Amino acid sequence: MTNTITALLLGDIIGTSGSRALFIHLKDLIKKYKADIVVANGENASDGFGITPDLADQCFTHGVDVITTGNHIWQKREILSKMGETDRILRPENYPAGAPGKGHCLVPVKEWTVAVLNLQGRVRLSNVDCPFKTGKSIVKRLRNDTPIIIIDFHAESAEEKEALGYYLQGEVSAVVGTHTHVQTADERILPKGTAYMTDLGMIGPSASIIGFNREVALQRVITQLPIKMEVEESPARITGAAVVIDAETGKAVSIERIELQSNY
């Protein structure tokens, strides 16, 4: 199909292991899926918490077009000035007014424009503004510019993620979740033409507990002590989805789950 674009949507980048795997394999993934735009969640890229300007620049250099984030974006304060320089590093749109940065951007792709919107859930996360009302309002505005709209919904609850997918189906091209670091196998096209997946997973160490050191994570769970999590250092897997979108209508044509085990 000539009037389509392919979006490569990747899960949370976790620490050095995840960043290394992304930088090594991204060009091959772009080539394999003929991706026109790459969106990756970078909120855990720097030691598992936040992202630095240098890491963001490296992501862009290696082929990422838009970096989405979530609740950990604020943990590397130096990224705030970088967010003021580019609209390609997003924070969730539904943080209250006055929060630094932007929650959406427009990206030229071939002869079309793609909108990327970042939202955050409220179940077991901060009590930010309503992602449903905020999402509906921003999507209405974005549709004046383009029918091709991709949403990264950074949320804990599968129920909340599915609810947003159905709430905005037909108005956006894709609603994909991030945050849990566990890839789900429920990728599908909703009845009104929106691609949906509860969680893209992560770009992070395979031999880990959601990307973090197993011994430390086990100790936290068993003792219930607030021990600081540490990123595991082991070969990473890359997970996400490739979504083909009809550029004229903004409807999703297909969604394919991606998983690649790296040797690095």
Q: Which one of 72, 154, 179, 181 is the catalytic residue?
A: 72
- 50 Cβ neighbours under 8 A, 6+ residues apart: 43, 44, 72, 73, 74, 75, 76, 79
Q: Is 179 a catalytic residue?
A: no
Angstrom distance (rounded) from CA 105 to CA 123: 25
- Give the three-class secondary structure for 175: strand
Radius of gyration of the chain (CA): 17
Q: In what order do the strands lie in the sheet with 112-120?
A: 104-109, 112-120, 149-154, 174-178, 195-197, 188-189
**Alpha helices (H) along the chain:** 15-33, 53-61, 79-85, 131-142, 158-168, 214-223
CB 21 within 8 A of CB 203: yes
Contacts of 27 (CB under 8 A, 6+ apart): 62, 63
Q: What values do phi and psi take at 124, rounded to 5?
A: 60, 25
Q: Which amino acid is at 101?
A: G
| Active-site residue list | 72
